Amino acid sequence: MNKLVVSSLALALAMPVTAFAAGGHYPVDDVDVGEPGDFIIESFFTRFDGDNSELGFQPTWRPGQAPLELVAGLIRVEEDGESINRFEPQLKYQLAPMEAGRWGSAVYLHAGIEDSDFNDLLLNFPFSYEFRDAPVAIHANIGRIHGRGGDEEVDRVFLGGAFEWGFADSVDLIGQVYREGADEAVESQLGLRFHFDSPVEYIDLAVSRVLSGDDKDWFATVGLGLAF
Condensed to tens digits (0 to 9), the pLDDT of residues 103-141 reads 999 999 999 999 988 889 999 999 999 999 999 999 999
pLDDT for res 189: 96
Can you list the domains of the chain with their CATH numbers? 3-227 (2.40.160.40)
pLDDT for res 150: 59
pLDDT for res 201: 95
Give strand ranges (E) for the chain.
39-48, 52-61, 68-79, 82-96, 103-114, 117-130, 136-149, 152-168, 171-180, 187-195, 200-210, 218-227
Span between the terminal Cα atoms of the chain, in Å = 37
The answer to whether the predicted template modeling score (pTM) of the entire model surpasses 0.95 is no
Using 70 as the pLDDT threshold, list the residues of the chain that sit under it: 1-23, 149-151
pLDDT for res 14: 34
CB burial class (10 A; 0-12, 13-18, 19+) of residue 64?
Answer: exposed
pLDDT for res 81: 84
pLDDT for res 16: 32
pLDDT for res 151: 65
Q: Where are the alpha helices (DSSP H) in the chain?
A: 3-14
Beta-bridge partner residues of 34: none
Cβ atoms within 10 A of the Cβ of 169, count? 6
pLDDT for res 70: 97
